Amino acid sequence: MSSLLRIIAQRLLLGVLTLFIVSIIIFTAVNMLPGDFAQAILGQSATDEAVAAIRRDLGLDQPPITRYWVWLTDTLSGDLGTSFAQANFASFTGSETGGGTTVMAQIAPRFENTLFLAGVTALIAVPFAVGLGILAALFRNSAFDKGSNMFALTSISSPEFFVAYILILFLAVLNPILPSLSNIYEGMGFGERLQKTLLPALTLTLVVTAHMMRMTRAAIISLLASPYIEMARLKGMKPMRVIVHHALPNALAPIINVVALNLAYLITGVVVVEVVFVYPGIGQLFVDSVKIRDIPVVQACCLIFAAAYILLNLMADILSILSNPRLRHPK
């Protein structure tokens, strides 16, 4: 048990170190974006003095290392800063401090919407993909197996926006079953919210199904030649029972890994889908913030994406270790 805890602690430390390195990359990349927020908000006719005053209010006149340290320490204390776009500038208000809407207040409802979309997609995609993978392994080299593989490869090869527009055409325009725009608002009923989320959720389902289905199929097929599977077959067990009760439990480690990776994608890769459906999630907020150079919001969104991806990968590693005795006892 101590070796297992040691392995988990190593994974956690590696995750924290990775997130720290990613935070440096995020800060550097965001501050290399072309354009200047002060110039953008004041316009091209603004005087140098006015631009300098705005930059001073926002702290943009400080050296990069100083700004990174302030951002890092504030983030560790739970303060993601104040949105530039919602700030009250001291130069114009005459106040001693700027004030304004906090980044956390902007991100919280959007992140909740993204988690709802990811949750709905996961509830559809994971059982569908795993079930499809089991059936493809059960009927290996059959017409069903070839058809499911063709479907998976087609869906994964198509760009997300293309899949989204095809679904809009067939499910919202030609056959008005679902709304084409996901205009979610606070206080909306669960049923209506679910209806407006289904189309982007179906788009994401088609995008992530292929990885999970093919990994499930490959993991199960690789185990079907094992001696204990042959013994189960010789005892007269039905093929579905052999796969579900004997092969699937031993194939959980790679399946858990690919499911976790795709769940991470559902949080970090929703930008295109949210923009297409005008879904008020963190991806849409990220794009809008990049357009107006709202640096604190962009940095916070990137950090949340990175943290979610790293956390889900850590969970996948830990669950893989717990589900595999050879990983629990590497010696």
Which distant-in-sequence residues (6+ apart) come within 8 Å of 279 by Cβ?
113, 117, 182, 184, 197, 200, 270, 273
Residues in the chain: 331
Asked if 136 and 307 count as a contact pair (C-beta separation under 8 A), the reply is no
The 10s digit of each residue's pLDDT in 125-149 is 999 998 898 888 888 888 988 898 8
Asked if 72 and 23 count as a contact pair (C-beta separation under 8 A), the reply is yes
The 10s digit of each residue's pLDDT in 211-249 is 888 888 888 888 877 788 788 788 888 877 887 777 777
pTM (global) more than 0.95: no
Q: How deeply is 235 buried, as exposed, middle or buried, from its count of CB atoms within 10 A (0-12, 13-18, 19+)? A: exposed
Fold of 109-291: MetI-like fold (1.10.3720)
Asked if 321 and 328 count as a contact pair (C-beta separation under 8 A), the reply is yes
Domain boundaries, the chain: 2-104, 109-291
